[in-house]
Protein backbone atom coordinates (compact mmCIF):
# COMPACT_ATOMS: atom_id res chain seq x y z
CA UNK A 1 0.00 0.00 0.00
CA UNK A 2 1.13 3.53 -0.72
CA UNK A 3 2.07 5.17 2.57
CA UNK A 4 -0.29 7.90 3.64
CA UNK A 5 -0.31 10.87 5.98
CA UNK A 6 -3.73 11.89 7.28
CA UNK A 7 -2.59 15.11 8.94
CA UNK A 8 -4.11 17.58 6.47
CA UNK A 9 -6.85 15.84 4.55
CA UNK A 10 -8.62 17.81 1.81
CA UNK A 11 -12.08 16.58 0.81
CA UNK A 12 -13.11 18.09 -2.52
CA UNK A 13 -16.67 19.28 -3.06
CA UNK A 14 -17.54 20.53 -6.57
CA UNK A 15 -20.33 22.75 -5.24
CA UNK A 16 -17.87 24.62 -3.04
CA UNK A 17 -14.98 24.69 -5.54
CA UNK A 18 -16.34 27.73 -7.33
CA UNK A 19 -13.60 30.34 -7.17
CA UNK A 20 -11.08 27.73 -8.36
CA UNK A 21 -11.66 24.44 -10.19
CA UNK A 22 -11.21 21.11 -8.38
CA UNK A 23 -7.80 20.65 -10.03
CA UNK A 24 -6.71 24.21 -9.19
CA UNK A 25 -7.95 23.83 -5.62
CA UNK A 26 -6.14 20.51 -5.24
CA UNK A 27 -2.82 21.78 -6.57
CA UNK A 28 -3.04 24.93 -4.47
CA UNK A 29 -3.83 22.85 -1.39
CA UNK A 30 -0.90 20.51 -2.08
CA UNK A 31 1.39 23.53 -2.46
CA UNK A 32 0.06 24.75 0.88
CA UNK A 33 0.67 21.43 2.62
CA UNK A 34 -2.32 19.10 2.08
CA UNK A 35 -1.13 15.53 2.66
CA UNK A 36 -4.02 13.52 1.17
CA UNK A 37 -6.96 14.37 -1.11
CA UNK A 38 -10.39 12.81 -1.46
CA UNK A 39 -12.59 13.25 -4.51
CA UNK A 40 -16.14 13.45 -3.17
CA UNK A 41 -18.77 14.34 -5.74
CA UNK A 42 -22.24 13.05 -4.98
CA UNK A 43 -23.75 14.28 -8.26
CA UNK A 44 -21.19 13.46 -10.95
CA UNK A 45 -22.03 9.78 -11.41
CA UNK A 46 -19.34 7.22 -12.20
CA UNK A 47 -18.53 8.70 -15.64
CA UNK A 48 -18.22 12.20 -14.23
CA UNK A 49 -16.03 10.99 -11.37
CA UNK A 50 -13.77 9.16 -13.79
CA UNK A 51 -13.41 12.29 -15.95
CA UNK A 52 -12.44 14.59 -13.08
CA UNK A 53 -10.50 11.82 -11.32
CA UNK A 54 -8.28 11.30 -14.36
CA UNK A 55 -7.52 15.02 -14.49
CA UNK A 56 -6.65 14.97 -10.81
CA UNK A 57 -4.39 11.90 -11.10
CA UNK A 58 -2.52 13.57 -13.96
CA UNK A 59 -2.13 16.87 -12.12
CA UNK A 60 -1.09 15.17 -8.86
CA UNK A 61 1.49 12.84 -10.46
CA UNK A 62 4.86 13.26 -8.78
CA UNK A 63 3.48 15.04 -5.71
CA UNK A 64 3.40 11.86 -3.61
CA UNK A 65 -0.03 12.89 -2.31
CA UNK A 66 -2.55 10.04 -2.49
CA UNK A 67 -5.94 10.45 -4.19
CA UNK A 68 -8.85 8.68 -2.52
CA UNK A 69 -12.25 8.34 -4.21
CA UNK A 70 -15.40 8.59 -2.13
CA UNK A 71 -17.96 5.85 -2.36
CA UNK A 72 -17.54 4.72 -6.01
CA UNK A 73 -15.31 1.67 -6.37
CA UNK A 74 -15.75 1.46 -10.15
CA UNK A 75 -14.50 5.03 -10.51
CA UNK A 76 -11.65 4.39 -8.06
CA UNK A 77 -10.50 1.38 -10.10
CA UNK A 78 -10.93 3.11 -13.49
CA UNK A 79 -8.94 6.12 -12.34
CA UNK A 80 -6.22 4.03 -10.69
CA UNK A 81 -6.81 5.97 -7.46
CA UNK A 82 -4.75 5.21 -4.38
CA UNK A 83 -7.79 4.29 -2.37
CA UNK A 84 -11.48 4.33 -1.60
CA UNK A 85 -13.41 5.95 1.24
CA UNK A 86 -16.72 4.36 2.20
CA UNK A 87 -19.50 5.35 4.57
CA UNK A 88 -21.65 3.04 6.65
CA UNK A 89 -24.32 2.89 3.93
CA UNK A 90 -21.88 2.31 1.08
CA UNK A 91 -20.18 -0.82 -0.22
CA UNK A 92 -19.08 -2.89 2.82
CA UNK A 93 -15.36 -2.42 3.48
CA UNK A 94 -14.80 -6.19 3.29
CA UNK A 95 -16.10 -6.26 -0.29
CA UNK A 96 -14.07 -3.17 -1.15
CA UNK A 97 -10.93 -4.91 0.16
CA UNK A 98 -11.67 -8.04 -1.87
CA UNK A 99 -11.93 -5.97 -5.07
CA UNK A 100 -9.08 -3.57 -4.42
CA UNK A 101 -6.53 -5.93 -2.94
CA UNK A 102 -3.97 -5.06 -0.25
CA UNK A 103 -2.25 -2.31 -2.26
CA UNK A 104 -5.01 0.26 -1.96
CA UNK A 105 -5.97 2.47 0.97
CA UNK A 106 -9.45 1.92 2.43
CA UNK A 107 -11.04 4.52 4.70
CA UNK A 108 -14.32 4.13 6.57
CA UNK A 109 -16.56 6.80 8.11
CA UNK A 110 -17.63 6.19 11.68
CA UNK A 111 -19.99 8.36 13.67
CA UNK A 112 -20.86 6.50 16.85
CA UNK A 113 -19.65 3.88 19.31
CA UNK A 114 -21.59 1.00 17.79
CA UNK A 115 -19.93 1.34 14.39
CA UNK A 116 -16.54 2.20 15.95
CA UNK A 117 -16.55 -1.16 17.75
CA UNK A 118 -17.19 -3.02 14.50
CA UNK A 119 -14.26 -1.62 12.52
CA UNK A 120 -12.00 -4.43 11.36
CA UNK A 121 -8.34 -3.32 11.41
CA UNK A 122 -7.51 -6.21 9.09
CA UNK A 123 -9.63 -4.58 6.40
CA UNK A 124 -9.77 -0.84 7.03
CA UNK A 125 -6.63 1.34 6.94
CA UNK A 126 -8.04 4.49 8.56
CA UNK A 127 -11.28 5.88 9.92
CA UNK A 128 -12.90 9.25 9.30
CA UNK A 129 -14.64 10.37 12.51
CA UNK A 130 -17.40 12.95 12.75
CA UNK A 131 -19.06 15.21 12.32
CA UNK A 132 -17.26 16.99 15.13
CA UNK A 133 -19.54 19.99 14.50
CA UNK A 134 -22.72 20.41 12.49
CA UNK A 135 -21.92 21.55 8.96
CA UNK A 136 -23.95 22.68 5.97
CA UNK A 137 -21.43 20.98 3.65
CA UNK A 138 -23.11 17.63 4.39
CA UNK A 139 -26.79 18.34 5.04
CA UNK A 140 -27.64 14.71 5.95
CA UNK A 141 -24.88 14.34 8.52
CA UNK A 142 -25.29 12.40 11.77
CA UNK A 143 -25.42 14.26 15.13
CA UNK A 144 -22.30 16.25 16.00
CA UNK A 145 -20.01 14.48 18.47
CA UNK A 146 -17.74 17.30 19.67
CA UNK A 147 -14.14 16.82 20.77
CA UNK A 148 -15.04 14.48 23.66
CA UNK A 149 -16.94 12.22 21.29
CA UNK A 150 -14.01 12.37 18.89
CA UNK A 151 -11.56 11.30 21.62
CA UNK A 152 -13.82 8.37 22.58
CA UNK A 153 -14.18 7.12 19.00
CA UNK A 154 -10.46 7.51 18.27
CA UNK A 155 -9.76 5.20 21.21
CA UNK A 156 -12.46 2.67 20.41
CA UNK A 157 -11.58 2.39 16.71
CA UNK A 158 -7.87 1.98 17.47
CA UNK A 159 -6.84 2.82 13.91
CA UNK A 160 -5.27 5.85 12.23
CA UNK A 161 -7.99 8.48 12.22
CA UNK A 162 -8.98 11.80 10.75
CA UNK A 163 -11.60 14.14 12.22
CA UNK A 164 -14.18 15.87 10.02
CA UNK A 165 -17.11 18.25 10.24
CA UNK A 166 -17.05 22.03 10.60
CA UNK A 167 -13.32 22.09 11.26
CA UNK A 168 -11.17 25.19 10.71
CA UNK A 169 -7.57 26.10 11.45
CA UNK A 170 -8.37 27.07 15.04
CA UNK A 171 -9.50 23.47 15.68
CA UNK A 172 -6.13 21.89 14.92
CA UNK A 173 -5.10 21.76 18.57
CA UNK A 174 -8.25 20.08 19.97
CA UNK A 175 -8.40 17.66 17.01
CA UNK A 176 -4.86 16.38 17.59
CA UNK A 177 -5.37 16.71 21.34
CA UNK A 178 -8.24 14.22 21.02
CA UNK A 179 -5.76 11.75 19.56
CA UNK A 180 -6.75 12.01 15.89
CA UNK A 181 -3.97 11.77 13.33
CA UNK A 182 -5.41 14.42 11.08
CA UNK A 183 -7.94 17.12 10.31
CA UNK A 184 -10.20 16.76 7.26
CA UNK A 185 -11.73 19.87 5.77
CA UNK A 186 -13.94 20.83 2.88
CA UNK A 187 -15.09 24.45 3.18
CA UNK A 188 -11.99 25.62 5.05
CA UNK A 189 -10.16 25.15 1.71
CA UNK A 190 -12.70 24.65 -1.14
CA UNK A 191 -14.16 27.98 -2.21
CA UNK A 192 -11.71 30.04 -0.18
CA UNK A 193 -10.36 33.02 -2.11
CA UNK A 194 -6.80 31.74 -1.52
CA UNK A 195 -6.91 27.95 -1.12
CA UNK A 196 -3.11 27.69 -0.90
CA UNK A 197 -2.91 30.27 1.87
CA UNK A 198 -5.89 28.71 3.67
CA UNK A 199 -4.19 25.30 3.56
CA UNK A 200 -0.85 26.73 4.68
CA UNK A 201 -2.49 28.33 7.70
CA UNK A 202 -3.78 24.90 8.78
CA UNK A 203 -0.42 23.24 7.98
CA UNK A 204 1.38 25.88 10.08
CA UNK A 205 -0.98 25.24 12.99
CA UNK A 206 -0.20 21.51 12.73
CA UNK A 207 3.55 22.17 12.52
CA UNK A 208 3.29 24.38 15.62
CA UNK A 209 2.07 21.39 17.65
CA UNK A 210 5.33 19.50 17.14
Q: How far apart are CA 57 and CA 65, in angstroms?
A: 10
- Given ligand TZP, Mg ion, none, residue 203, with its beta carbon under 5 to 8 Å by kind, binds none
Nearer Cβ to Mg ion, position 87 or 146?
Answer: 87
Report whether 146 contacts 171 (CB < 8 A). no
Q: At its nearest, how many Å lie between ligand TZP and the CB of residue 49? A: 15
CA-to-CA dists, residue 170 to 161, 198, 203, angstroms = 19, 12, 11
Contact flags string 170-209 toward ligand TZP, x per CB under 6 A: ---------------xxxx---------------------
Tell me if 38 is assigned to a ligand binding site.
yes
Q: At its nearest, how many Å lie between ligand TZP and the CB of residue 102? A: 26
Q: How far apart are CA 42 and CA 33, in angstroms?
A: 26
What lies within 8 Å, CB to CB, of 110 at 6+ separation is 88, 116, 119, 127, 128, 129, 153, 157
Residue in the shown chain whose Cβ atom is closest to Mg ion:
87
Contact flags string 106-135 toward ligand TZP, x per CB under 6 A: ------------------------xx---x
Amino acid sequence: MKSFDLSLYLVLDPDLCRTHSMVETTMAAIAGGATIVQLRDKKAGTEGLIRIGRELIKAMAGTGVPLIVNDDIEAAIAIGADGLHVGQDDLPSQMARERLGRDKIIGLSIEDETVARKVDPGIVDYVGIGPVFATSTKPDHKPAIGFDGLADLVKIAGLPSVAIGGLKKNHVEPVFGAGANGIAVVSAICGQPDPEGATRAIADAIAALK
